[in-house]
Amino acid sequence: MNSGPGELRRPRILVADDQADIILSLEVLLKREGYEVISANSPAEALEALRDSTFDLMLMDLNYSRKANSVQEGIDLLTRTEQIDPLLPVVVMTAWGSIDVAVEAMNIGASNFIQKPWQNKRLLEVVREQIELGRSRRRSDHQLALEKMEIEEAGALQRAFLPPSLPKVKACEMAVRWQPRGRVGGDYYDIFPLDPRRLGFCVADASGKGIPAALLMSNLQAGLRSFAPSSTGPAEVVTRLNRLLCTNRLTNKFVTLFYGVLDHAKFELTYANAGHPPPIIQHPDGGRSALKETGGLIGFFPEWTYRQESISMAPGDRLWLYTDGITEARDAAGNQFGPARLEGLLAEVETAPLLEAQERVWSAVLDFCGGTFEDDATLLAFHLKEPQK
């Protein structure tokens, strides 16, 4: 079993007191119990030791002026200690102790309080207890730091799977917005040329969130880029992706996916829709059509196959693809944004340039849900243009 930071060494205790006899007594007592003891006879020496090394416990005097109720130096030392090492347990000691001083010290960050003269048995009990609590906090903090680092790395890896930029195609303008709910998300999109006249593109959404969904999406991306060039069409690509995810499935996750091939020379779209929210085609005359499912979601049943559909498009047409993070965004009352509101919004922005239209849609959804998506969200748009001579 792996140990946390510092688990295999002897516990180290910093003793801060300006009385030599007190330091000597504590050193003898604590070293006899197997502790490593470092002593400091002033707040300045204690702070220097804290900056230079790591300790499992600090045992410190609150009074350095030898005047009754004069504990300001000790309080200042406690405050600075909290700033240098907020996870270090601190047990404060003073001959001038009172309930008020103890409460003030505990509020600043002291872990426990012992009044001089002390009882050895009681002091050792407090020392053992605080060292274990402190090490437990450090283990938890270390684990949280590792988990945070893993999530950051997974998020960076996921972003690396996304296209660094959109392809440049004279007959087709493109725009995309992608926003994971946290550092790592389950939404995925991809756009890539299959040949000089055809674009392959995909929008997908994995069930769940976080690292499991992102790992599933990395598997999907590798499969898509491998299958797309060698397959006869979208139906075969999605069928092969379904088998791949079923074979490699580690958890009960599934994916909704839309994969299309746009022939921008003939203005023809061939697609397979595996349980994904239907993309919307918007025509210049105000008409709209939706690209319905051609099969169920992928990742559950390896024997499932998928069909594909083809549709003719024309210059001026726009294609909008999205994930359910858009339509299922909720306002403060719990109402969903919904497909009908999305279609109405697309009608409002149909004459705006594509980038402006997309930004207005994205901003409207964000305003609706109070500025924060509850789920991963993706919005991908295409605008077909007249071929240039």
Are 320 and 277 contacting, i.e. CB atoms less than 8 angstroms apart?
no
Q: Centre a 10 Å sphere on the Cβ of residue 93 and count the other Cβ atoms it contains.
A: 24
Are 358 and 345 contacting, i.e. CB atoms less than 8 angstroms apart?
no
Q: What are phi and psi of 365, to 5 degrees?
A: -65, -45
Whether 178 and 147 map to the same domain: the answer is no
Out of 130, 152, 174, pick the residue that ends a domain: 152
Can you give the CATH number for the domain in which 33 is found? 3.40.50.2300
User: Does this model's pTM top 0.75?
Assistant: no
Write the DSSP assignment of 123-134 as a string of letters. HHHHHHHHHHHH
In-domain check, residue 157: no
Query: What is the Cα Rg of the chain in Å?
Result: 32
The tokens describing 243, both together, are: 């088998």
In-domain check, residue 225: yes
String of b and e for 205-218 (b: at least 16 CB within 10 Å)?
bbbebbbbbbbbbe
Can you give the CATH number for the domain in which 205 is found? 3.60.40.10
Whether 94 and 181 map to the same domain: the answer is no
268: β partners: 263, 312
Sequential pLDDT tens for the chain (389 residues): 344 444 557 899 999 998 899 999 999 999 999 999 999 999 999 999 999 999 999 998 887 765 555 678 888 898 899 889 988 999 988 765 555 666 677 677 788 878 788 899 989 999 999 999 989 888 887 777 776 776 666 666 666 677 888 999 889 999 999 888 766 677 889 999 999 999 999 999 987 666 676 777 778 888 999 999 988 899 999 999 999 988 876 556 789 999 999 999 899 999 999 999 999 999 998 899 999 999 999 988 999 999 999 999 999 999 999 999 999 999 999 999 999 999 999 999 999 999 999 999 999 999 999 988 888 899 999 999 976 65
Whether 167 and 148 map to the same domain: the answer is no
Out of 152, 177, 206, pick the residue that ends a domain: 152
Look up the domain containing 22 and give its range.
12-152
Whether 261 and 124 map to the same domain: the answer is no
Are 246 and 288 contacting, i.e. CB atoms less than 8 angstroms apart?
no
